[in-house]
């Protein structure tokens, strides 16, 4: 417990970081972008180092620093890169390093779900739209980038406000922080009682189950599995359980999701359905025509394509 | 020891002890602030929505870190729903962006300044 770092050091880092982001934002023409990016990386490294020194007696978790530096650096490139495609690719880098941080937080399933859903699905949609919605450059155009991509809007004011927010946030959570506890075993293992088939398979593979025996009862409080063949009961204590017999992250998460939040799943389904319908309705191009216009259109089509004059129903639809 | 083996063991207490909740919250706050600055400063509609995705990442990281701190899985469950909402938001927002691009042949957000009251 206690203050992790002196607040004024944090404010100093916030000011420097704001200045670096401000420098790194694109301004069109020659801008000190590289300088800003380098300064930002240096400051982020110094800030993390300051955090690390506080815990000098303990060996710091190197991967945390690697992943967070990559993630924050790539996020900085997302907002500073003038080309949208590169920004999207840097965002994928951020997603992957966030996935790495999730693994460090022992949330393995969410790490891979994040990478699959974000980097695999959402970002590809973004890339599609970026490539769909790009003007073809004119013949006489030397500059390929659009002017709105190369010039940031109000970089100074935005950086000041953003890093003021960061200073407030850091002040709040740097007081009285605690170390992360070791991953708990007792709570999760209670779920084993609900998975008799997993226990039985695991015991059988390990050769602890004799011929004709089945798992009768799993008592996680006492740490025994009661197996039975016919009338005779036998207990297998925890010490004899095979190594891999524990609740994994995915299983525990599944139990948590379906048992504690069934209503939220329904709502999520409705949200997805609404989004799908909304996207279809929004991107459809409906051409409104009265009877007269339809007939004229039909005649025109008949002339140009030669023969098909019987066009009925609304003209248009998706395009 | 290979990288994956080390990563797989990262949940064990020894390497974990070095980082506190505040480390993860700091990274989360940084991502949030960077996303916010990007949303305000960039004028490309697609990049603006990309910045909201950055802020979603920050929220998810904070949720998982808090869940890890309290040793329950609600934070990770929340991230599942964050992913759902992010996917829905991306579909809707990109449909809107395509629609807006068709009108003005430009992704510049300032083209739509006359919409403000």
Q: pLDDT-based confidence at A309, cuts 50/70/90?
A: very low
Mean pLDDT on A272-292 = 83
Q: Which residues contact A87 (CB under 8 A, 6 or more apart)?
A: A77, A78, A79, A81, B47, B50
Helix (H, G, I), strand (E, B) or coil at B88: helix
Instruction: List A residues 201-240 in contact with B (Cβ-Cβ < 8 A).
Output: none
Residues of chain A neighbouring B37 (CB-CB closer than 8 A)? 21, 25, 79, 158-159, 162
* Chain centroid to CA A214: 42
Stretch among A45-49, A224-228, A230-234 having the lowest mean pLDDT? A45-49
Say yes or no to pLDDT of A102 above 60. Answer: yes
Dihedral angle, C-alpha A184, A186, A187, A192, nearest 10 °: 120
Q: Say yes or no to pLDDT of A96 above 90.
A: yes
pLDDT bucket at A318, cuts 50 / 70 / 90: very low
Chain A residues in contact with B94 (beta carbon < 8 A): 125-126, 129, 279
pLDDT interval class at B10 (50, 70, 90): very low
Under the banding of pLDDT at 50, 70 and 90, the label for residue B36 is: very high
| Per-residue pLDDT at A3 | 57
Q: Is B83 on the interface with A (CB under 8 A)?
A: yes
pLDDT value at residue B84: 92
- C-alpha A198/C-alpha A192 separation (Å) is 8
The rounded distance, in Å, linking the Cα atoms of A76 and A46 is: 16
Q: Is B11 within 8 Å of A106 when comparing Cβ atoms?
A: yes
In DSSP notation, A257-298 reads: HHHH-HHHHHHHHHHHHHHHHHHHHHH-BPPP--HHHHHHHH
Percent of chain A with pLDDT over 90: 16
- Residue A1's pLDDT is 41
- Contact check, Cβ <8 Å, A183/B12: yes
pTM, full prediction: 0.79
Best mutation site among B12, B23, B84, B113 for testing chain A: the one with the most A CBs within 10 Å?
B23
Backbone angles phi, psi at B78, to 5 degrees: -60, -35
pLDDT number for residue A219? 76
Domain boundaries, chain B: 20-107
Q: What is the pLDDT of residue B79?
A: 93
Nearest to B81 by CA among B66, B64, B93: B64
pLDDT level of residue A231 (50, 70, 90 thresholds): confident
A4 touches chain B (CB under 8 A): yes
| Residue B15 predicted with pLDDT over 70 | no
pLDDT tier at A92 (50, 70, 90 boundaries)?
very high
Average pLDDT, chain B: 81
The token pair at A184 is 């708990």
User: Which long-range contacts link A4-8 to residues 24+ away (Cβ below 8 Å)?
Assistant: A4/A51, A4/A54, A4/A174, A4/A177, A4/B20, A4/B22, A5/A50, A5/A51, A5/A54, A5/A174, A7/A170, A7/A171, A7/A174
More confident residue, A11 or A3: A11
Q: Does B88 touch chain A (CB under 8 A)?
A: yes
Collapsing DSSP to helix, strand or coil, A234 comes out as: strand
Kindly state the tokens that stand for A267.
Answer: 């709502």
Out of 3.10.20.740, 1.20.120.1200, 1.10.10.60, 3.40.50.150, the CATH code matching A7-133+147-173 is 1.20.120.1200
Query: Which one is the CATH code of B20-107: 3.40.50.2300, 1.10.287.3510, 1.10.3470.10, 3.90.1150.10?
Result: 1.10.287.3510
CA A168 to chain centre: 25
**Burial classification of residue B109, based on how many CB atoms lie within 10 Å of its CB (0-12 exposed, 13-18 middle, 19 or more buried):** middle
Domains of chain A by residue range: 7-133+147-173, 186-249, 282-319
Question: Percentages helix, strand, coil for chain B, rounded to the nearest 5?
Answer: 85, 5, 15
Tell me the CA distances in angstroms from A98 to A71, A128, B31, B37, one per residue in order. Answer: 7, 23, 10, 19
Higher pLDDT, B15 or B98: B98
Q: B86 — contact with chain A (CB < 8 Å)?
A: yes
Give, to the nearest 10 degrees, the angle between helix B74-104 and helix A123-132. 10
Angle between helices A84-104 and B45-69 (to 10 degrees): 0
Mean pLDDT within A104-130: 91
Helix H or strand E segment including A237: strand A232-237
Q: Residue A305's pLDDT is what?
A: 63
Q: Which of A34-38, A45-49, A64-68 has the highest mean pLDDT?
A: A64-68
How far away is chain A from the Cα of B116, in angstroms, using its nearest Cα? 17
- The average pLDDT across A229-254 equals 78
pLDDT tops 90 at residue B64: yes
| Structure confidence at residue B12 as a pLDDT band (50, 70, 90) | very low
Searching chain B, which residue's CA lies closest to the CA of residue A188?
B72
Q: What is the pLDDT of residues A192-226, one digit of tens each?
A: 777 777 888 888 788 777 777 777 777 777 777 88
Order across the sheet with A224-229: list the strands. Answer: A214-219, A224-229, A232-237
Q: Which residues contact B99 (CB under 8 A, 6 or more apart)?
A: A282, A283
């Amino acid at each position: 417990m206690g203050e992790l770092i002196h607040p004024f050091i944090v404010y100093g880092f916030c000011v420097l970081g704001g200045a670096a982001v401000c420098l790194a934002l694109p301004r069109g023409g020659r801008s000190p972008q590289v300088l800003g990016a380098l300064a930002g990386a240096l400051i982020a490294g110094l800030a993390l180092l300051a955090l690390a020194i506080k815990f000098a007696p303990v060996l710091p978790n190197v991967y945390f620093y690697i992943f967070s530096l990559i993630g924050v650096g790539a996020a900085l490139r997302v907002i500073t890169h003038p080309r949208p495609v590169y920004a999207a690719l840097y965002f994928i880098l951020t997603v992957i390093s966030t996935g790495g941080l999730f693994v460090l937080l022992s949330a393995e399933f969410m790490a891979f779900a994040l990478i699959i859903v974000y980097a695999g699905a959402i970002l590809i949609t973004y890339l599609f739209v970026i490539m769909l919605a790009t003007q073809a450059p004119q013949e006489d155009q030397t500059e390929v980038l659009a002017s709105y991509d190369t010039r940031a809007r109000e970089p100074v004011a935005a950086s000041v406000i953003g890093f003021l927010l960061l200073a407030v946030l850091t002040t709040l959570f740097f007081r009285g922080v605690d170390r992360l506890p070791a991953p708990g075993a007792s709570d999760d293992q209670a779920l084993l009682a609900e998975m008799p088939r997993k226990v039985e398979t695991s015991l059988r593979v390990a050769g602890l189950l004799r011929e004709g025996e089945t798992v009768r009862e799993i008592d996680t409080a006492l740490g025994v599995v009661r197996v039975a063949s016919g009338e005779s009961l036998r207990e297998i204590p925890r010490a004899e359980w095979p190594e891999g017999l524990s609740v994994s992250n995915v299983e525990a998460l599944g139990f948590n999701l379906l048992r504690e939040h069934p209503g939220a799943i329904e709502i999520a389904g409705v949200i997805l359905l609404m989004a799908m319908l909304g996207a279809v309705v929004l991107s459809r191009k409906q051409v409104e025509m009265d009877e007269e216009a339809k007939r004229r259109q039909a005649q025109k089509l008949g002339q140009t394509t030669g023969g098909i004059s019987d066009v009925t129903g609304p003209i248009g639809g998706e395009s | 020891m290979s990288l994956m083996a080390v990563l797989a063991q990262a949940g064990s207490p020894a390497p974990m002890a070095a980082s506190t909740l505040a480390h993860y919250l700091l990274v989360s706050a940084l991502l949030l602030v960077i996303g916010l600055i990007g949303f305000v400063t960039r004028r490309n509609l697609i990049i603006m929505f990309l910045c909201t995705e950055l802020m979603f990442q920050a929220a998810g990281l904070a949720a998982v870190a808090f869940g890890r701190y309290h040793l329950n899985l609600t934070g990770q469950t929340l991230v599942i729903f964050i992913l759902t909402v992010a996917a829905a938001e991306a579909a809707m927002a990109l449909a809107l962006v395509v629609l807006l691009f068709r009108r003005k042949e430009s992704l510049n957000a300032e083209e739509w300044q006359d919409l403000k009251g």
